Chain A
């Protein structure tokens, strides 16, 4: 079964850091582009970041550029999102997604990040 499972969410203080993980199974992770997408409470989906299959190419939304870093460990079938200098507006459910034909064909269940003092 194709599956993505996010973890690492929780409560962080403004200015703090968190690292999210996304464990993949049931497909060839090392051959797949991957994304992070977030959704603030009661709001719409917002694309956050992208990484190609070997990690040599990445992209970020302007709102997180310079603060967030996407990476992957193909040996562990795991995607990461390092989030630094967190702000209240980063509060959201964070989803990882597997790219197929420039769309996100597989989604995890999401992990919740709350930034608050």
Chain B
């Protein structure tokens, strides 16, 4: 069974870049069956899809975040990463990585989530 684990700083200063990595185990990130997605959730609020990457490197982003988001993949390490630039307090959230089944568009496997706080 595929397992995902987020890692990265829990505290980021305003205007800086948030960087997170998701490590995939129990399966190859190069599998053609999945997209690899990032989702976030501010405390007490709903889920917001950030974007996805395919193993070919093609990406899709939430239009509301597109200007600040970069998602990349490192197949040699079985990892994919998120960078969110020019962060503000509004970017404080639990960030999840997830595998998205490419035909059904279901978010099948999720990481446990990591809290990122934007504060000086």
Report if A and B associate in a common complex.
no
Could you list which residues of chain B lie within 8 angstroms of chain A, going by C-beta atoms?
Answer: none
